[in-house]
Amino acid sequence: MKFVVVLVTVPYDKSKKIINLLLTKKLAACVNKIKTIESFYWWGNKICNDKETLLVIKTKKILFEKIVKEIKKVHPYKVPEIISIEINNGNKEYLDWIKEVTI
């Protein structure tokens, strides 16, 4: 079984809604919330910057598309950042726990 870390940037006031959604639906085993990051990016032919929250989601790779679908339902951005990074190695007990607590 393969596992991933999913990274999502979101306005702070929307973060708990996404966290609760993913945990309630058992799409994520754990979500870390990094309260304030500053993002710099291109949008509408100009460089923008905003304060955001970064969600670090641990889950099974097979659940990624479901996570994207659920997040897009409630995320306020037109093009939300939702990316995954495959976990190549990890503590076996931790990975077993992810497997156990997600659908």
Give 12-58 as a DSSP string.
HHHHHHHHHHHHHTTS-SEEEEEEEEEEEEEETTEEEEEEEEEEEEE
How confident is residue 68, by pLDDT bands cut at 50, 70 and 90? very high
pLDDT of res. 35 = 96
Q: Residues 54-66: pLDDT tens digits?
A: 999 999 999 999 9
Q: What is the pTM of this model?
A: 0.96
pLDDT of res. 10 = 98
Domains and CATH numbers, the chain: 3-101 (3.30.70.120)
Which 3 state secondary structure label does DSSP give 10?
strand
Name the percent of the chain lying above pLDDT 70.
100
The predicted model gives 68-75 an average pLDDT of 98
pLDDT of res. 85 = 98
